[in-house]
Amino acid sequence: MEKQMRKLVIVTGVAILAVAGSAAFTMFAPGKGEAQTNVTVAGERSKSITIYRDPNCGCCDAYGEYLETNGYQVTRVDDRDFDKRSVAAGVPEQGLGCHLAEIDGYVVSGLVPAEIIERMLDERPDITGITLPGMPPNAPGMAREKTGTLKTYGFGEDGIAVYANE
């Protein structure tokens, strides 16, 4: 009988902790209109991306729409000095793209295809980020769909190297 009583106490304690944890999660979860952070749960990848771009750049808007069609939640921030922000974030000056994006602890410079961003987020390489320099005419945001190959570079403390050439 004492063994059954202990088992009942343990099961009840676990149930109480589960309910309390659920209530705390609900109470402290951001509400509608409140800022949310780019936090990733183990096994999940962030789909929230912030793009810093020149407010007069039409390709940046097209690129944001492209990312949205690929399931990303895009926040656009007008920033005429995105190039200075990019260099401060670690993007090599010779590798600047037409905007800077931040996602899940990485920076993305330029019109990088969604599948390359997703590969980086899956692989979690020890780099600061990736860049597709310039404004290639066959990149997402410049063309309706990517055609041909695009050379994307990874950069970080260990230098610059080709991340993808596809």
Banded pLDDT at 145 (limits 50, 70, 90): confident
pLDDT range class, residue 45, cuts 50, 70, 90: low
Mean pLDDT value across the chain: 79
pLDDT at 128 over 60: yes
Residue 10 has pLDDT above 60, yes or no: no
Q: pLDDT higher for 7 or 55?
A: 55
**Residue the block writes with tokens 């390359």:** 116
Q: Looking at the predicted structure, is the pLDDT value of residue 105 above 70?
A: yes
Give me the pLDDT at residue 162, please.
97
Q: Which of 115, 122, 123 is nearest to 132 (CA)?
A: 115
Is this prediction's pTM over 0.85?
Answer: no
- The reported pLDDT for the residue numbered 6 is 44
Q: Sheet harboring 106-110: ordered strands across?
A: 73-78, 48-53, 99-103, 106-110, 129-132, 151-156, 159-165
- Residue 132 CA, chain-centre distance (Å), reads 16
Helix, coil or strand: residue 45: coil
Q: 35 pLDDT exceeds 60?
A: no
The string of pLDDT tens digits covering residues 14-31 is: 333 333 333 332 332 333
Which tops the pLDDT comparison, 160 or 10?
160
